[in-house]
Amino acid sequence: MTERIQKMLAHAGLGSRREIEDWIRHGRVEVDGKVAVIGQQVGAQSRVLVDGRRIQLNATSSGSSRALLYHKPVGQICSRQDPQGRPTVFDGLPKLRGQRWVSVGRLDFNTSGLMLFTTDGELAHRLMHPSQEIEREYRCRVRGQVNPADLRRLSEGILLGGQLCRFESIRTQSGSGANHWHTVILKEGRYREVRRMWESVGCTVSRLVRVRYGSFRLSRELKSGQHQELQRSQHDGLYRLAGMKMGRGTPQRKPMRSSPASARAAPNDKAKTNRATGVKRKRPVNPRNDS
């Protein structure tokens, strides 16, 4: 059985599909002695090299991949390395051999809350894809006066950078003076989307916490900076959430609906080596954050 190379490498745990497509575009991947192209079909017998290193394409199942929940604190970035030396969300995750953790989306430096990580890059790609319409729920402390017309605009949709953004629901909660807590739900993860939407109606988000991603909720038991590895039944639930039918061997992917391609970050000239896989990884510039 053959599969597109970027999906095969992502599912093998080398990185997210976005990262691997970037490697292919820059000529870092070879198949049977020739430079690979995006979408090229490969099988278990194909000879695949990444930065000159042979990659074993053994078929994997959900049983060989891992996933965990992480409670991100304010003050961590979602990149693997930072030129400024700031702490990253990857610093405290369990060490891996032959695989690496891929984050399901990002949270910006000043946002805290629930993050998901998996060693299956294809699963991460599916969970982030807009066509899946997976709900993200946030608690927002908002400074500024919000009237019913503003809430209606946020629910019906606002154009930000030429794209229509909207909250699926808004629940106003406690607060005093100019500060009030709201709980909002949306089905996408564009760059700083929650903050930008509130700013569009003249408000400022002074605190932002993601409390739910799909069916996975941030529990009180999971303290800031802690992680919790998913049990097998929960892990299989991630594949179902991503629309990946479970079967023997590699999970079977249902075809996704097409959506507008999102902008990808340009790579830096210097490459970093991933200790787990031996593959050099180029550091992205201005990575996207969900909020």
The bridge status of strand 3-4 relative to strand 41-42 is: antiparallel
Q: Is 214 left (phi over 0), alpha (psi -120 to 50) or beta?
A: left
Pick the closest to residue 206 from 114, 250, 144 (CA basis): 144
Contacts with 117 (C-beta within 8 Å, 6 or more apart), sequence order: 67, 68, 70, 93, 101, 102, 103, 104, 227
Q: How far apart are CA 262 and CA 260, in angstroms?
A: 6
Q: Is 118 left (phi over 0), alpha (psi -120 to 50) or beta?
A: beta
**Sequence-ordered strand ranges (E) for 56-93:** 67-72
**Is 108 marked active-site?**
yes
3-state SS, residue 263: coil
Catalytic residue (one of 51, 82, 91, 108): 108
**Tokens 């693997």 sit at which residue?**
80
Q: How far apart are CA 28 and CA 25, in angstroms?
A: 8
Known catalytic residues are 108
